[in-house]
Amino acid sequence: MTAVSDVCVRPYEPRDRARVRHICFVTGYIGEPVEWQWRDAESFSTIFTGYYTDAEPESALVAEVDGEVRGYLLGCIDSSRAWNPATVVSRQIIRRGLAFRPGTARFVWRSVGDVIVDAAHRRLPPAAFSDPRWPAHLHIDLLRDARGRGVGAALVRRWLETLRRADVPGCYLETIAENTGAVAFFEAMGFEKRRKPIPAPGLRSPRGERHHLQLMVQSLQVGSGS
């Protein structure tokens, strides 16, 4: 258990599942609520947290502030074992009728249009990142009142320590390139940008501008490469 002032970082427990899903949804757009462009909380939370809480819960961490979970880090030690993101999204679209549901249909069809345009310009993102130098990955979110208190750093340090003890050579993550605060935070935690940002299908700013995904990596063992 790791403490930062009145913050406690501890392993995820099944009782935390609902809280993690809630935090995921209310921080889903660059740390802010995502409801304005994806209104279905159930599908959104499943897409971004389902694998970690249901298939690899032993790699998840939560941060408590005054006894309440206010943030989490969801990890995966071997990304080749994680659920395929495209498959997860497709299943949610079919099961919950997201292509025809108010609050998600616009995003779904905009994503289809983006994929067609990006394919024509040969700028489609890869289906999934895979490199033996960085087999692990992480996904982290904090509520606003938990930020700026060292909580995110404590979560990331705890996760990286876990990977080092397991002799995992490296870790990667993807963040929104336009989220400069997040990029700066991960750089401060030892991650480096890898490849140029690529367009994220469907994702827009409130002004309608496209967002891009920035891949970042960190090698954890001497001689593991960069």
Q: pLDDT (tens digit, 9 = 90+) per residue, 84-112?
A: 999 999 999 999 999 999 999 999 999 99
Measured CA distances, 152 to 101, 139, 194, 198, 220 (Å) = 35, 11, 21, 25, 19
**CATH number, domain 2-219:** 3.40.630.30
Average pLDDT, the chain: 93
Q: What percent of the chain has a predicted confidence (pLDDT) above 90?
A: 86
- Residue 55 parent element (H or E): none
Residue 125 has pLDDT above 90, yes or no: no
CA–CA separation, 30 vs 181, rounded Å?
Answer: 9
Q: What percent of the chain has a predicted confidence (pLDDT) above 70?
A: 94
Following DSSP, what letter does each residue of 84-118 receive, concatenated?
Answer: PHHHHHHHHHHHTTTTSSTTTHHHHHHHHHHHHHH
Contact by Cβ (8 Å): 72, 27: no
